[in-house]
Amino acid sequence: MASMLIPRCPLIKPHLERRATRITQRSTIFLGAAARMESLTAANAAAESASNDQGTESSAADTVVQYVVLRRDLIDTWPLGSLVTQGCHASVAAIWLHKDDPDTLLYCSTSNLDSMHKVTLEVKGETQIINLSEKLKVGGIAHKLWIEQPENIPTCLATKPYPKSIISPFFKKLKLCK
């Protein structure tokens, strides 16, 4: 009976092996997504439990927030849409690079999708955004410095989501982007 399942044609066997490999890869992707969803559900439950245990004052201080920093010199010289796009690129990249992080999962959870907190700030120019990126690296703050290609211009940066109490001290001296 087993011999009936094994193809005798040499052309069919590689085809079936490729197909089996693809099915295995898709199963792995599916199982990974299921595990992330399970983590997300656990993160939501933990966040809900934590928010019920904390007072509103400490809860507000620990709101999960993402910071986006744009260059003022580009705000004055680039079309608004182009610069908004740069900020979007940096924001999405920072979230994607840290998609399995508990704070990112909480920030992107279904219960928080309509109440995300993002702070958009500005720095003077290229030197300042590079210096800020270095300061964040030294401080252990995960972020994405977006460099526009092919021009190789650092345009903005975005952090991964963090509790506000952890991340806000790094941005105290910066101005809101207006």
Domains within the chain, CATH numbers bracketed? 60-176 (3.40.1490.10)
Torsion angle, alpha carbons of 42, 43, 49, 53, to 10: 150
Report d(CA 156, CA 70) in Å as an integer: 5
Write phi, then psi, for 27 (nearest 5 degrees).
-65, -40
pTM of the model: 0.68
Query: In the predicted model, what is the mean pLDDT of the chain?
Result: 82
Percent of the chain at pLDDT above 70?
A: 67
Q: Which of 2-11, 16-25, 69-78, 131-140 has the lowest mean pLDDT?
A: 2-11
CA distances from 172 to 73, 107, 109, 138, 168 (A): 20, 22, 27, 17, 6
Three-class SS of residue 131? helix
Res. 127: pLDDT tops 70: yes
CA distance 100 to 64: 15
pLDDT value at residue 57: 45
Region 10-14: mean pLDDT is 64
